């Protein structure tokens, strides 16, 4: 790192758990963020601020006025922009040293299988069950940790799936691909604005911990936030040996 980087990241470097070595891992790292909306906004901003050297962000949508209630990477002036272009501007304004690759389309299995092996962590910030399953399958195949978050109305959830650990379940162990839940969208159900910030910020924190070598103690745990009572609930997750995605792979 150069002198400017040592100054920019000095508050990280002061932490025994990070130090110069951990910060250098961040600077050298590549993270894939799937989704540039309510969750993807705080994830992208905090990863850029933390010094992740290369961030690939994928989203096929454009900024809409209704997004601005919670999607803090976007602005009124950028309504109509592709979300990934808007998020890129926000990240680079915060930290011009970050390399951003913006993919303004949905990622299919072929693209994921090419992209996932090039990253250290995948952060799932999408709101589409099919995409979540495709992302998970690629992470299992290439043994890349997946930081998964979701938020709707006043409820949020967070988990880390890391099949480098033989005991870790994958996303499909808990949410089987052939049992798609009823689709719920914030456009019809609503979502409390700060909730996505809470979950997205925690996704960013788990990502930074994974990269710097602190690891993640959320592996094998699903944390659920009830925003009404501000209560956290936790469920311990077990790997499904018959899982159609990871059952025979670890």
**pLDDT value, residue 188:** 72
Which is catalytic among the residues 125, 173, 186, 243?
Answer: 186
Query: Between residues 51 and 187, which one has the greater pLDDT?
Result: 51
For residues 146-155, average pLDDT: 95
**pLDDT value, residue 183:** 66
Q: Indicate the range of 32-36, 128-132, 175-179 predicted with least confidence.
A: 175-179
For residues 183-203, average pLDDT: 86
Within 8 A by CB and 6+ apart from 233, the residues are: 223, 224, 226
Query: Between residues 6 and 185, which one has the greater pLDDT?
Result: 6
DSSP assignment of the chain: --HHHHHHTHHHHTSTTTHHHHHHHHHT-EEEEE--STTHHHHHHHHHHHT-SEEEEE---B--GGGGGT-TT--GGGTTSBHHHHHHHHHHHH-TTSEEEEE-S---HHHHHHHGGG-SEEEE----HHHHHHHHHHHHHHT--EEEEEEEBTEEEEEEE-TTSTT---HHHHS-TTSPPPP--HHHH-B-HHHHHHHHHHHHHHHHHHHHT---TTBTEEEEEETTTTEEEEEE----TT-TTTTTT-
What is the bridge-based pairing of β-strands 155-161 and 30-34? unpaired
Active-site annotation holds for 139: no
Percent of the chain with pLDDT over 70: 96
- Tens of pLDDT, residue by residue over 20-70, are 999 999 999 999 999 999 999 999 999 999 999 999 999 999 999 999 999
Which of the four pLDDT bands, split at 50, 70 and 90, describes residue 247? confident
- Tens of pLDDT, residue by residue over 92-117, are 999 999 999 999 999 999 999 999 99
- pTM reported for the whole predicted model: 0.94
For residues 121-127, average pLDDT: 95
**pLDDT value, residue 186:** 66
Query: Which of 48, 13, 36, 60 lies closest to 196, judged by CA?
Result: 36
**pLDDT value, residue 88:** 98
User: In this structure, which CATH number among 3.50.50.60, 3.30.420.10, 3.40.50.720, 3.40.50.300 belongs to the domain 3-236?
Assistant: 3.40.50.720
């Amino acid at each position: 790192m150069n002198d400017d980087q040592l100054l920019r990241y000095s508050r990280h470097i002061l932490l025994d758990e990070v130090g110069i070595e951990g910060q250098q891992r961040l600077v050298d790292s590549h993270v894939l963020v799937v989704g540039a909306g309510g969750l993807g906004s705080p994830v992208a901003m905090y990863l850029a601020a933390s010094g992740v050297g290369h961030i690939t962000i994928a989203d096929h949508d454009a900024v809409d006025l209704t997004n601005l209630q919670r999607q803090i990477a976007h602005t009124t002036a950028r309504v109509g922009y592709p979300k990934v272009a808007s998020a890129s501007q926000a990240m680079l304004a915060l930290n011009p040293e970050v390399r951003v690759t913006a993919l303004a389309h949905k990622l299919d299995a072929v693209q994921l299988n090419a992209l996932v092996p090039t990253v250290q962590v995948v952060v799932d910030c999408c709101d589409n069950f099919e995409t979540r399953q495709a992302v998970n399958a690629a992470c299992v195949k290439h043994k890349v940790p997946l930081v998964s978050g979701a938020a709707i109305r006043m409820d949020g959830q967070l988990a880390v799936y890391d099949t480098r650990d033989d005991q870790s379940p994958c996303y499909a162990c808990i949410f089987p691909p052939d049992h798609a839940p009823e689709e719920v969208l914030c456009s019809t159900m609503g979502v409390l604005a700060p909730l996505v910030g809470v979950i997205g910020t925690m996704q960013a924190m788990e990502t930074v911990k994974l990269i710097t070598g602190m690891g993640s103690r959320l592996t094998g745990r699903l944390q659920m936030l009830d925003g009404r009572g501000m209560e956290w609930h936790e469920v311990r997750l077990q790997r499904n040996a018959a899982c159609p995605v990871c059952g025979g792979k670890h």
